[in-house]
Chain A
Amino acid sequence: GAVVSQHPSWVICKSGTSVKIECRSLDFQATTMFWYRQFPKQSLMLMATSNEGSKATYEQGVEKDKFLINHASLTLSTLTVTSAHPEDSSFYICSASKLAGGWYEQYFGPGTRLTVT
Chain B
Amino acid sequence: KQEVTQIPAALSVPEGENLVLNCSFTDSAIYNLQWFRQDPGKGLTSLLLIQSSQREQTSGRLNASLDKSSGRSTLYIAASQPGDSATYLCAVSGDYKLSFGAGTTVTVRA
Contact = CB atoms under 8 A, between A and B. Distances in A.
Contact of B44 (A49, A93, A105): A93
Given A41-B102, A103-B32, A103-B51, A46 B42 contact: no
- B: interface residue count bin: 20 to 34
Interface string B68-99: 00000000000000000000010100001111
Interface in A77-116: 91, 93, 95, 97, 103-111, 113
Interface string A22-61: 0000000000101000000111111001000000000000
Interface residues of A, number: 24
A97 B102 contact: no
A44 B89 contact: yes
Contact of B100 (A44, A49, A109, A110): A44
A104 B102 contact: no
Interface string B28-48: 000110001000011110100
Contact of A43 (B31, B32, B41, B102): B102
A42 B98 contact: no
16 contacts: A6-B43, A34-B98, A42-B102, A43-B4, A43-B89, A44-B44, A44-B98, A44-B100, A93-B43, A103-B51, A105-B46, A107-B46, A108-B43, A109-B43, A111-B41, A111-B42
Interface of A: 6, 32, 34, 41-46, 49, 91, 93, 95, 97, 103-111, 113
Interface of B: 4, 31-32, 36, 41-44, 46, 49, 51, 89, 91, 96-103, 105
Given A43-B101, A111-B42, 12 more contacts: A6-B43, A41-B102, A43-B100, A43-B103, A44-B89, A44-B91, A44-B100, A91-B41, A103-B51, A108-B36, A109-B43, A111-B43
